[in-house]
Every structure is written in C-alpha cells, then in structure tokens.
Structure 1
Amino acid sequence: MKHVRVNAKTFRDNSGKYINLPTILIERNDEVQVFKQLHEYQIKYYFKSSSWHEKLIQATGLLLDYMEANQTNYTSAKEFFETFRMALYSGTINECGNDPSRLYWLPKRTATADPLVSALNGFSDWLFNEYGASQLNPWREASTYEQKLKWMALVNKSHRSFLGHLDDSLNMTERAKVVRNVMNNRKPIATFDETKAFPENKINELLFEGFRKTRKGISLSPIDQYNWRDIAITILMHYGGLRHSEVFHLWMDDVYPSPKDPGLAVVRIYHPSEGKAPEDFKDPISGRFITNRESYLQLKYGLLPRNKYPASDKLFAGWKEPMLNDGNDKYINVFWAPQKWGYIFMDVWKMYIKQRRLQGIKDIHPFAFVSFHPKYKGEMMSLRTQRESHAKAVRKIGLTVCKGKGTTEHGHRHSYGQRLANAGIDKYTIRVAMHHKSIESQDVYTTPSISTITSSLSKATDSLESGIKLPMEEELESWFREEF
C-alpha cells in the first residue's frame, strides 16, 4: 500500500485549538486519504510523547511497505506478523545479496526492533477492541518457562516502580500466564558502555579554543572573539548535568545572581507547560497574571512550549519528565559540580547577554538561546544548529565526534555523573542532582569505564605481596625447556 508521512493539524471542535501530530496518507482506490484508524488511535493518545508518535508512524510505515511487497505470501494476520517480525530482526537480503521483495532491509538491532514491534502491538490491540479487526500479535497461554520469565520481569518492574508497593501479586501471577504469540528478542546484557563521558582533560580546550572565533587579519574584541552562547550551553551540560534538550527550555528570566552570593549563577529549568510563568503579563480577559508557561507563551507570543511541536519541527525540544526540585513552581535546579563553574557561568552569561544586545536581538520570545544567523536572527535556536556547532568545535580541537567516545553533546552529562561518582557522592544525592526519578537511572552515568576498572585492578594487583609462585611453576619451566 503506497503511503507517505505528513504532519497534520486536527481540529476537534469549533475552537482555534488543534492537535499537531505526524500521521500517514495512504492511496486507496486511486484516492489519497488519511489512514483513518491510525489517526484515530493517535488522537486518543495525543498526550503521548513525540517520540512515541514518531515510533508508531515509523513502525506502521514499515508494516505497510512489507504488506505491499508480500501481498500473496500469507494467509492470516497472525502469520503475516510473524514473517514481518522476522524480516525486522533478520533483514530481507539473502547471503548472495539478493532481495526479490525489493525492500532491501538490513537486520535491525534488538534495541531498535523491539520498540517497533511493541508500537504495532498496541495499535493492533486497539483495532481489535474498536473495530473487531484480527489481532496481528494475539495473546496465548504461556509455557511454564515463559510464565517464570514473565513473572520475574513483572516483579522486577514492580520493585523499580515508584508506586510498585501498590501492585497486586495475585494479579501479576495471572498476567504471567499469557504472552504474545510473537515475543521480542532478548537483548544482550552489558555492565556498561565504554567511555561515553566527554574527556575531562579536553573540556577547557573545547570551551575556549573550540568555540573561539577568528577572522583573518582582524583582531576581535573579547565579546566577539568567542561563541559565548555555545560556551554557556556546554557549561550547563558539562558542569550542571543538564540534558541537551533541557537547555533549550531555559528562559532569559531563569538565570539570575544568587541572593546570598551575587557572583554565583542560579539556573532553573521550568516545566515547559506547567512551570510558573514570570509575573509580567496579565490575561486580557481576567486581568490576572498568567500562572503557567503554556498560557503565557500562547497569549503573549502565540507560541507553544517547545516539547509540544512535532519532533520534525526545528522548534521542537524534548522533555523527559525529570524529577522536579520544586513541586509548586515546577522547576529543576542546576547543581554546579564543582561550584566554581557557577561563578564562571555567570561571567559567560553576562558576555552572552552583551553579545545579544550587540546583535540587536529583539524580544520576540522568552527563550534564552537564539540564532545569530542573519536569516533567522533572534529566533529560537534549534537543537540541530547547536549540535552542529558543538561537533565543529570538537573537531577543531582534534577529536572525533563519536557517541562511543563521549564527544557528542550527551557525553557532557555522562561526564557530570562520573565526576559526582568519583568524588564519592552518595547515590541518593546524585539522583537529586541529576533529577532522576529512579535510583537505578544514574547507573549508566556513574558505572566506571573499562579503563577505570583496568587501572584499579592493576593498582590492586601491584599492592599484593610479591614473590608468590605457582606450585607447579618449576615443572612448567622444565616442560617448556623440553618442548622448545
């Protein structure tokens, strides 16, 4: 079935509000139309994250491609989904490099394929309940072995859940008795991923050489000599532990001097929609100050919170629902590690403000980080633009841009977590500093790298008593002499 992905605005009533979501257009009976059932399913779950909707669209598109390429090769929905799932995990190209289906799919990793299968499971279940359609991946009675595995998984999930103590053990036992006809592959388990943290011995060079600007034959002033915007963003990630996307929810009013120490920067990242709004704008109808940021953005600037734009929009910035430090005003606080970088950030921030003023940036939105490109001057800076700027700075100081080496923007958060762990900070404090809801969430950031473990074991080995010989050492030496 021919199809194309589009962004759609859906109006559900006579108001001016609409739901902006990606969806799929299909060609049926020589007529192009919205994939109605898919769109209904998305509208029902419109509150889900942008990544959830993008994954659903991707999975559905792959399913439609596979259906188009294999119209006569299956007799039931169940059989079709079994072969589709096999194609996802194993690819469609044979050992000779041929693929009569013309799909030419390469095998997908388990971590990539599993979410696609899960997305289609949910959509298929909804179609079954709403329209009586055949389930692609129906439930069946689990074997004894499968029941044990699922029960253990449910118990483990319950223990990790914030409200896990409310789970009913009898209900979990009943749920363990059924499994999907087609189950996800078991993921390979690793203790850690090697070196995701940005190298600490390169951070100063990145900040003040990588983001340094030069013009041939022209001597630049201190304000023009550096990209203070990207230096500020990198400090927030590296020494403040913020996620890359969180930085782009910062407003100009969210940075201010500490009342107790004017040289120290206080930085807060408010919830994109429910966070407390500045008290400088009143509702034209009620005459009261706007209390939340979504209403503030809409009424004063005609904008949405950045996490509510489609993921394909340059204004989009994700929000992973971190644990807030304040439940009333709804914000997370940046905890500097070490604290001296809170003072350095304040100086960098002041230079950035001066740079904005010199560029003539107008007050067209409240967001802190803006584009200086002549064509987009003053507009909200996109994540892609900053990502490219960061990569350019990394290459400038002689490093390769690679997630596995910690040299992407996310490597700075890993560095922050490693720094706290190496300083002996307890895991509960690290949890708060990194705004994790689960205590286990920090493990990926604080687990020691292979090089750290190797170094520790080497030191421990050197400290052992020397001179120890294996009991058979003399026999081994004699054997080697005879053989060689």
Structure 2
Amino acid sequence: MSRPITYHLIRSMPSPLMASEHVPLVIVSKQDGFFLREAHAFFHDERYSDRSHSWRLAAAKTIGLFFDFFKASEIEDFGGAINQHMLVRNFLLAVSRGTILRDGEDPTGLRWKPSSPDRYAVRKSYLRQFLEALQDFSDEGTIIPTRFCQVAVSSRAREYQRARSLLYHLGAPRTYSGKPNDSRRSLGVQHKKRGFDQEALLKLLQVGCRRSRSIHAFYNKNGEPTLASEFNLNLLMAIILMVGGGLRQSELFHIFLDDIRPDIIWMYHPEYGKDRRGRIRSDYLREEFGLLPRNRITGTQRAGWKRFLITDDQRMRSRLFLLPYWHELFYKVFYEYRRNIYPNNPAHPYLFVSTDARFYGQPWSIQGLKDSFKAAMNKAGMKQSKFEDTNMHAFRHSYGQTLVSMGLSPLYVKEAMHHLSIESQQVYTRPSDETVNKHLQEAAARMQAMKDGKYSNLSVLESPDLIGGKFMSDPAGIFTLVGLGRNRDRI
C-alpha cells in the first residue's frame, strides 16, 4: 500500500505582527511560495487574531488539507476528471467519504479515510471561514492572488450560488465561536447531561482525593491529622470550584491567589482584568513576573479562556457564586492549602501550584489536573466517561442541574454560570429522563384530582383500549381481534 501524499507542513512560529503570539505557518513548496500567504493573512485578520492557539492549529490543519486537495486536482490522472470550479464541493465530498476507491486505488494519492459527521462539520466550519476571508482579501486587494487563491475564490462563488450547497445551505456551521454544528443534532440526537452522580462524587472526594499515606509534617500542633495531611488539596479545591461554582477546568488556572477574598471569589479576565490600582493583568504579569497570560502562550502551561460573562465592566471581572455547602468546604480547604502547601515566595501569582517535587511551586498545569483526577478516579474504583457523566466537565453540569432544582429562574442561572445568553445554559440544565417522567406523573395525578373534585369537565386521563374494540368505525379491521392458527394465519 502506497503512503499518503501531503503537500504541506504546519509549524508554529512567533508572529512579528502580533507581539508574543505564535501563529501556524503552512509551509509549502518553493514553487508555491515557501509558505501559504493566504493562511498567514487569515490568522492575522482582525476577526480571527484573538482566537486561541489550538483554534488556529485546527484551522491550519483544514487549510492544509484543502491545499493538498487543490494540488491533487492538478495531477493528470485525477485532475482531468474534475472541474476546478467545483473544488470546494469535491473537497467536502472527499473529506466526508474519503478518497480511497473500493478496489483500494486512490487517484489523488491522499489516502483519506471517511470522516465522522462531527469531524466533517469541523472541517466545513473552518473551510467556510477561511474562504470568506479569502474572498475579502481578494476584493480588497490585500494579497497577491495566487492560482490557489483564484481557484478557491472561484469555487466558493460557484458553491455560494448553488441551491443545494454543501458549504452554505445544508447544515451551515456557526461562524463566531469557531465551533461547528453537531451533525447529530440534525438527526434529533442529543446526549442528555445528568451531571456527576452524587454518590460517586462523595466517593471521589472521600476516597479518590485521599492521600495514599498520611503526611505527618502537616499534622496540627496537637499531633492530629489535618486536611493537608490526608488529602490532595489541589484536586480537592479544583473539584469544589467546578462542582460548587460551575467553573470549567481551564478557568481554574487563571485564578490568582489574591482573587480569593475572605467572603468572595472574583474571576478576572485573564488579560484585561484590572487590580485596585487600575493595572491590567497582562501588564502586571509582564512587569512583575516576566509572564504572559496563560491563554496567550503555548505548551504545558497554556490554559484556554472561553467567552465569560463579565458583570463588573470597570475591572473586567465577575463574582463566582459558590453554593452554600461548597462555599464553606472550599474555605476550609483553602486555608489549609495556604498554610501548608503554597510556597512563601512564588514566582507567579496563580492560586494552583504544582506539588510534584520536580516542579514544586510552579503553576499547576491542566495536564497535572487531568493526571490527578484520573488517579483519584482509579483509586475510587470508577472510570472516566463522557457518556456516563463521570468526567470533569460533568461537574459543571451538576452545578447547572443544582441551580435548576433549587427553582432559580433562567436569568439567575445564566448569571451564576456566567453565560452570555440564556440559550447557552440549556445544554447544562436539560432535565433527565427520570425528572421528566416524574413531573409528567405528578401533572397527571394533579389533573385526575382536579377532575374528581372541582373541575369535572376535564378529559379523563386513561389509556384507550386499542384491542378491545371500543371504536365506532374500523373499516380496515386494524383493531379487530383475529384468531390465528393452522390455515387461519391470513386476514
């Protein structure tokens, strides 16, 4: 079997136009200009320049694949069979169905396998945004149109005019967030989030977060065990903030130690949040510690930042709403952590620090959290599963479900979960099957009670007898009892 052919490489390089930023560079052949200038302009466009590095890399992957398909279309054995005005459409079909024929041959040489609906939607979303930017660049004359650019813009225009466009009119992806529509939703399929099971959560806290051995150095002055001596306080605090405050795992790693006040916890924008003197965080990190905000770096210390409702626009921050029980538990753990774990002179302002002997005192990483959570789940005898709601994001769903069960209005739920719109909370607050059934049964009982009492004109709540023949008309004999048996098995 021949190896797949590719016509590009992707490398992450510092950008001379955006200070301290790394931007993907789609490297191509000398004949094609060494690197894809269209992609370079795309990542520096003001609409996309503030996107995360992971978003850029994923977009670069799609752009690279699109360029590969364009180059394959110039191969004589394959290019002669396609119209380059149909490049976009043919590319999407190739992504969806693959390029390998039934006999194992592949005239493109790309050797692509069929994509899942989810991956196809992702590719289509990035391609659409890239092509729309490419059209703007061409109209404004901001780039020199290469043959690749000309063919891409031409095929986009052709696709835009089609009544049944694969790119635009059939399941068009969302454009602002960079997240594609979930293709399963067109089939009416949605995974219903229940949140982390309460019994499992208790077991995780009591068993999973407990240290393998007690640390006597953390005993109190009376020689008694403490939370610090018995538990992994990093993981314990992280779980409390996620399940009791609804934080995403990436948001944990933007919290400064000083954000924890005796009676309130603030969540600041990682770049534009302002301290009491009005100094923004990016300046504070650079001037005091020589650091960049963690959403603007690459590597193991990176932490993403999803759009977050800011309620205090003067200082670019929002209050974290911890549920009462979790509020008390958090501060008990925090004071133990501050006293026994946190270093005296840290080289950064972040709340969570690594306790690994090799990296002690450095900012804790998302991978460190994932490793600790995995070890805790194994210790508690549980497995991580997205579909069983035993992963870390299920903690946020638990928070949302708790808010709903408390009877809070959608407006308050939106504020507590820091969503920009009420619609955003729906995936977190959808009721479980058991809850829906419980409410249906209770509603039916109320209606029956009302009929038996004051409101006698309500319809009777009983299931129809479909087999007993209680129908005035049944010309097809559908509900007529039929005796089946030897020589009588036909109606």
Give the TM interval when normalised to the shorter protein. Answer: 0.7 to 0.9
Q: Residue 377 of structure 1 aligns with which residue?
A: 360
When residues 304 and 216 of structure 1 are mapped into structure 2, their CA distance, relative to the original with a 3 A threshold, is closer
Residues 1:446 and 2:451 are matched in the alignment: no
Is residue 371 of structure 2 the alignment partner of residue 368 of structure 1? no
Superposed, which structure 2 residues align to 1:222-241 within 5 Å? 222=226, 223-241=228-246
Whether contact under 8 Å (2:97, 2:115) holds in the other structure is yes
Backbone CA RMSD of aligned residues: 3.7
Q: Which residue of 2 aligns with 1:300?
A: 288
**Which amino acid counterpart does residue 210 of structure 1 have in structure 2?**
G
> Is the Cα contact below 8 Å between 1:192 and 1:447 reproduced in 2?
no
Residue 111 of structure 1 is matched in structure 2 by: 121
Question: What is aligned with 1:328?
Answer: 314
Q: Please report how far the alpha carbon of residue 243 of structure 1 lies from its aligned counterpart in structure 2 after TM superposition.
A: 1.4
Larger radius of gyration: 2
Distance verdict in 2 for CA 1:443–1:185, change over 3 Å: closer
2:302: which partner in 1? 316
Q: SS at 1:213's partner residue?
A: coil
Question: Matched residue of 1:111: which SS?
Answer: helix
Name the CA distance, whole Å, in 1 between partners of 2:9 and 2:163.
44
Shift of residue 331 of structure 1? 1.0
From 336, 340, 345, the equivalent of 2:330 is 345
Aligned to 1:6: 11
1:137 to 141, 148, 156: 156
TM-score (norm 2): 0.76
Q: Is there any run of 5+ residues in structure 1 with no aligned partner, and where? A: 162-183, 259-265, 280-288
* Correspondence list, 1:37-76, <5 A: 37-45=38-46, 46-72=49-75, 73-74=78-79
Give how far 1:41 is off.
2.8
Deviation of 1:230 after TM superposition, in Å, equals: 0.9
Shift of 1:415: 1.0
| C-alpha displacement of 1:24 | 2.2
> What percent identity do the matched residue pairs reach?
25
User: Equivalences for 1:40-439 in 2 at 5 Å?
Assistant: 40-45=41-46, 46-72=49-75, 73-74=78-79, 77-95=84-102, 99=106, 101-109=109-117, 110-129=120-139, 130=142, 131-132=144-145, 133-134=149-150, 135=153, 136-138=155-157, 188-190=186-188, 192-195=190-193, 197-215=195-213, 221-222=225-226, 223-258=228-263, 266-277=264-275, 291-310=279-298, 313-337=299-323, 339-357=324-342, 360=343, 362-439=345-422
**1:3 and 1:228 mapped to 2: Cα distance?**
46
The aligned amino acid for 1:426 is S
User: Does the residue aligned with 1:416 lie in a helix, a strand or coil?
Assistant: helix
Q: Find the counterpart in structure 1 of residue 451 from structure 2.
A: none
The answer (yes or no) to whether the contact 2:350–2:363 under 8 Å persists in 1 is: yes
- In the alignment, the residues of structure 1 paired with residue 317 and residue 200 of structure 2 have an alpha-carbon distance, to the nearest angstrom, of 31
Q: Quick one: structure 1 residues 471 and 371, their matched pair in 2 at CA, closer, same or farther if it must change by over 3 Å?
A: closer
CA separation of 1:409/1:469 partners in 2, compared to 1, >3 Å: closer, same or farther? closer
Residues 22-41 of structure 1: pairs in structure 2 closer than 5 A: 22-29=24-31, 33-41=34-42
Instruction: Please give the TM-score of this superposition, normalised by the length of structure 1.
Output: 0.77
Give how far 1:229 is off. 0.7
Displacement after TM superposition at 1:420 (Å): 1.1
1:316 counterpart SS class: coil
SS at match of 2:28: strand
The SS at the match of 1:188 is: helix
Further displaced range: 325-334 or 228-237: 325-334
Secondary structure class of the residue paired with 2:265 = strand
**1:386–1:82 distance in 2 versus 1, CA, 3 Å:** same
Cα distance 1:343–1:98, how it changes in 2: closer, same or farther (>3 A)?
A: farther
Shift of 1:82: 1.9
In the TM superposition, residue 190 of structure 1 has moved relative to its aligned partner by 3.3
Change (3 A) 1:67 1:215: farther
CA contact (8 A) 1:66 1:103 kept: no
Larger strand fraction of residues: 1
- The aligned length equals 429
